[in-house]
Amino acid sequence: MSKTNHFGIAIAGLGTVGSGVAKILSDHQVGDNGLFLKSILERDPEKGPAREWFQKIPEAFVNDQESILQDPEIKVIVETIGGTGFAREFTLEALKRGKHVVTANKDLIATHGAELCAKSQSCNRHYLFEAAVAGAIPVLSLLREYFQTRDILELEGILNGTTNYILSEMETRSLGFEETLKQAQELGFAEQDPTNDIKGYDARYKLVILAYLICGQWISPSEIYLEGIDRLELPDFEYASRMGRSIKLIARMRRVEEKGNNYLQAFVLPMMLPRENVLSKIDGSTNALSLKGRFSEDISLIGKGAGSLPTASAIVSDLNRVARNEKPIPLPSNTELFQLMPFNESFFRHTLRFEVYDEPGIVGMIGKILAESGINIYALEQLPQYHRIGDAERESVIFTITLEPCSEGVLWEALDKINLASFMIQPVNVLRESL
């Protein structure tokens, strides 16, 4: 397989994505870009997608990292192992030994991006990760181009295919959360341990990377406010539909200039979106991003956010970039320092779902507590079909209130009191809409 003066590639981790890269490189690369697959690092070549490749090209398989790191023909390593342990150590060592690294590992970049990017610069090597955010959608390349003019002011996106699939199914087929999740697992959309997706961690990793490409600043994932989709129930979708809204897991960031300070508002939340918002129409496992630029104005990007070949296509585009350009692309360097806006200071239109043991005076008491915090009610709905006979024969009921816009801090001053009331079956569920 070796060719002189060409870009030998080693794939580390030949699972779903790594095998997609092998396939594109072997079957579909056209033109003389010099890229060729030289080695594959895999623990067990007899299982999963590696098996087929082990039968085709057993000579490419190695099981120790040294044979890749010491091979002068290997110029680029594709890291598709995943995780933040071995993958981090291996990437740092590869850069140190003069290899370029291309990856889809969003967990690693979001948590150790500052260290890895600095290392790649000091070693004068590429560290590229187009595939880590929104799969086949070339959003990072676009942001790298726009960084020079500090153009992008706002971004909101559907960055997780698994959760978007679940939300679309709940909305269109009126299936409950658990049932939809199980179906998504059976169809291979959701992993057996779906925590990273449904709790929003995956989308938050991607938002950290996008924020870096927009502002040149690494934010620690844990600093970004996050809520997942696992508290949503069918009445939320039914209410949203009557209000002309869809519910989507939205990753959002916005630059805010206030009193001479540069703030960055960033969060990942299930949100209500009006039907005219382009993201409200994104169904299934598709990803999408809406960007607002100072000069470029509105840009929408839609495409496949995951899967073997779509993700691999982004890796191969990075490999082509390395083959075209020996010099690493300069990092987005930060000239304005941004402070993360405390989530409590964010304003939304909030929709509250209450599930209570039915008794007289509940709405009155809630209204009084909201009024004490200066919060005005915009809409209120309690329908006959939401009455149930629950535990110990006590009647329960679900009702929903949409509030006039207020800050998160003011809202929680009231909700902390309401959640203590003895009639509350579970804490209020909050859905938000951007203003």
Which residues are designated catalytic?
206
Between CA 85 and CA 19 the distance in angstroms is 21
Query: Among residues 291, 136, 140, which one has the least CA distance to residue 209?
Result: 140
What type of residue sits at position 91? T
Task: Answer whether 347's CB lies under 8 Å from 407's CB.
Answer: yes
**Tokens 């179906």 belong to residue:** 183
Task: Give least dist CB 63 to ligand NDP, A.
Answer: 8
Among the residues of 187-284, which ranges form H helices? 195-198, 201-215, 234-242
Q: Binding segment for ligand NDP among 40-48, 279-287, 336-344, 400-408 (CB under 6 A)?
A: 40-48
Among 3, 28, 43, 182, binds ligand NDP (CB under 6 A): 43
x/- string (CB under 6 A) for ligand HSE, residues 291-320? --------------xx--------------
160 binds ligand HSE per the rule CB under 6 A:
yes
- 197 makes contact, choosing from ligand NDP, ligand HSE, none, with CB < 5 to 8 Å by partner type, with ligand HSE
Q: How far, in Å, are 104, 294, 386 from residue 110 at the CA level?
A: 11, 26, 42
- DSSP-derived pairing of the beta strands 152-158 and 286-293: antiparallel
Among 80, 164, 277, 287, binds ligand NDP (CB under 6 A): 80
Among the residues of 284-423, which ranges form H helices? 308-324, 362-372, 408-418
End-to-end CA distance of the chain: 57
Q: Binding segment for ligand HSE among 159-167, 218-226, 328-336, 354-362 (CB under 6 A)?
A: 159-167
* DSSP-derived 3-state class of residue 368: helix
x/- string (CB under 6 A) for ligand HSE, residues 186-215? -----------x----x-------------
86 binds ligand NDP per the rule CB under 6 A:
yes
CB closer to ligand NDP, 25 vs 401: 25
15 binds ligand NDP per the rule CB under 6 A:
yes
81 binds ligand NDP per the rule CB under 6 A:
yes
Kindly tell me the number of DSSP H helices and DSSP E strands found in the chain: 14, 19
105 binds ligand NDP per the rule CB under 6 A:
yes
- 13 makes contact, choosing from ligand HSE, ligand NDP, none, with CB < 5 to 8 Å by partner type, with ligand NDP
